[in-house]
Homo-oligomer: A and B are copies of this chain.
Amino acid sequence: MTQSSANQGRVYLAGPDVFLLNAAAVLERKKELCAKHGFVGLSPFDNEIDRSGLSRHEVAHRIAAANEEMIRSCDLVIANLTPFRGPGADVGTVYEVGFARALGLPVFAYTNLAGSLLDRTRRWLGDRLKQRADGEFADQFDMIVEDLDCVDNLMIVGAVEAGGTGAGIVINAVPDKDSFTDLAGFETCLELAAR
């Protein structure tokens, strides 16, 4: 790993990457890319959680607390917003984006799937999609499908785009099988952050 001489800050690596079978390798590669661009990458995998004697539920609490502490120690966040088990981003990642945003940290983000939230939600709903009396598209609970020309929920889009970095959510469409491992969008975020 070639460490750049410039220290541009600590980057929290947010994303569903932690759920991958080869999570350790993908996160190690992200850290190498961080170093290449002068950053130090940190991921939830860097937290050492002693699970001895703890219930699974207590382990969850420990991981959550350690992740929050790690975000507080960072200078910026790069989030993987690739839709995860549904039309939108992984909720754990989104939680961390909101957390970072309230702390005033710049948030950069990428997604490996093209299309708007509206497109994806409509496709996902299939024949449960219907048009309400007021003309809006809605689901089986008569709940509106957000149509604000956004890649994902407006809170996430606001956090990334209105956060003062001048960067939008990086869209890097890849074949389905590479959805959670392709790192081109991640590297673009590093380039944006390095400006």
Contacts and interface: CB of A to CB of B under 8 A. Distances in A.
Interface in A40-69: 55-57, 59-61, 63-65, 67-68
A60 B150 contact: yes
Contact of A102 (B56, B57, B103, B148): B103
A139 B148 CA distance: 30
A189 interface: no
Contacts of A16: 143
**Oligomer: number of copies:** 2
A68 B57 CA distance: 30
Interface residues of A, number: 63
B102 A141 contact: no
A163 to B, nearest CB: 10
Given A97-B98, A102-B102, A146 B19 contact: yes
* Listed residue (A60, A92, A99) with the most chain B CB atoms within 10 angstroms of its CB: A60
B97 A147 contact: no
B101 A99 contact: yes
Contacts of A68: 101-102, 155, 158
Nearest to A105: B102
A89 to B, nearest CB: 6
A100 to B, nearest CB: 7
A95 B180 contact: no
Nearest to A66: B158
Contact of A124 (B56, B85, B146): B85
B88 A161 contact: no
Contacts of A143: 16, 19-21, 84, 180
Query: What are the 6 closest A-B residue pairs judged by CB atoms, nearest first?
Result: A64-B158, A86-B86, A98-B98, A102-B102, A95-B98, A60-B154
Given A61-B161, A63-B154, A84-B143, 10 more contacts: A16-B143, A60-B148, A63-B148, A64-B159, A68-B101, A85-B139, A95-B95, A95-B153, A95-B156, A98-B98
